[in-house]
Amino acid sequence: GQQLNQSPQSMFIQEGEDVSMNCTSSSIFNTWLWYKQDPGEGPVLLIALYKAGELTSNGRLTAQFGITRKDSFLNISASIPSDVGIYFCAGRPGGSQGNLIFGKGTKLSVKP
Amino acid sequence: EAQVTQNPRYLITVTGKKLTVTCSQNMNHEYMSWYRQDPGLGLRQIYYSMNVEVTDKGDVPEGYKVSRKEKRNFPLILESPSPNQTSLYFCASSRKSGSSGANVLTFGAGSRLTVL
């Protein structure tokens, strides 16, 4: 099936640093979502994007729907220890009524 | 509180012993789905349901069954579990395609299953 390439796979950063991660696809998507999974919990929606070029913030998090509609980016500014977890991108292919496709996740570790 | 509830949260069983993982949502969502999460493989869809009595296979349906007799419930059935079904399972729900909030999945807290 269709796949999303999410990178990096994992990140080890110092508290206070900024973080960037991204997802790319080989085809056009009409929805991009970013989820965070805390250890031992289910994924929780962080940001939803519905238009090419859209830039949306949620506190220290900012996500963008790429202008080509084939990618999306998530940035976290001034990381704190509770940012630890796995971040997933998810998208819905353009023209499709089908299911969301998930990236494999970026595991973030924050050193105090 | 709007939520997706899965049970059990943790289960250890033996090969071949049928089990059911229940999933219930209180948001009147049409769409429900089951995923399994394995290290390095992310979330893989097992089965999904667009509405009552409508179910379809996801990417990894082998060894699983589902049913959707009521809108709020979507149980996952392992008729004869095997060790390769040891995994973390998530149920999720959303509004139907075309409606506001479609695709925004709400996930349960997960069910960790170990098959010996």
Reported as a single tens digit per residue, the pLDDT across B23-75 is: 999 999 999 999 999 988 889 999 999 999 999 999 899 999 999 999 999 99
CA closest to B98 among chain A residues: A97
- Asked if B65 contacts B1 with a C-beta cutoff of 8 angstroms, the reply is no
Residues of A in contact with B90 (CB under 8 A): 42-43
CA B77 to chain centre: 9
Q: Which two tokens stand for residue B72?
A: 């709020």
SS3 A81: helix
- Kindly give the confidence (pLDDT) of every residue in chain A, 112 residues in length, as a single tens digit, with 9 standing for 90 and above: 567 899 999 999 999 999 999 999 988 998 999 999 998 899 999 999 999 999 999 999 999 999 999 999 999 999 999 999 999 999 988 766 667 889 999 999 999 8
Pairing of strands A19-24, A5-7: antiparallel
Q: Can you tell me the distance from the alpha carbon of B47 to that of B35, in angstroms, rounded to the nearest whole number? A: 8
Residues of B in contact with A103 (CB under 8 A): 42
Residues of A in contact with B42 (CB under 8 A): 6, 88, 102-105
Chain B residues in contact with chain A using a Cβ-Cβ cutoff of 8 Å: 4, 33, 35, 40-43, 45, 48, 58-59, 90, 92, 97-98, 103-110
Across the interface, whether the CB atoms of B40 and A88 are under 8 A apart is answered no
- Cα distance from N-terminal residue to C-terminal residue, chain B: 36
- B90 closest CB neighbour out of A6, A42, A97: A42
- Cβ-proximal residues to A27 (8 Å cutoff; 6+ apart), any chain: A2, A70, A93, A94
CA-CA distances (angstroms) from residue A109 to A81, B78, B104?
8, 34, 26
At B95, the pLDDT band (50, 70, 90 cuts) reads confident
Percent of chain B with pLDDT over 90: 85
- Asked if A22 contacts A9 with a C-beta cutoff of 8 angstroms, the reply is no
Asked whether the predicted pLDDT for residue B102 surpasses 70, the reply is no
CA closest to B31 among chain A residues: A99
CA closest to A86 among chain B residues: B42
Asked whether the predicted pLDDT for residue B87 surpasses 90, the reply is yes
Q: What is the rounded average pLDDT of the residues B102-109?
A: 86
- Asked if B29 contacts B95 with a C-beta cutoff of 8 angstroms, the reply is yes
Which residue is it, tokens 């900024």?
A: A18
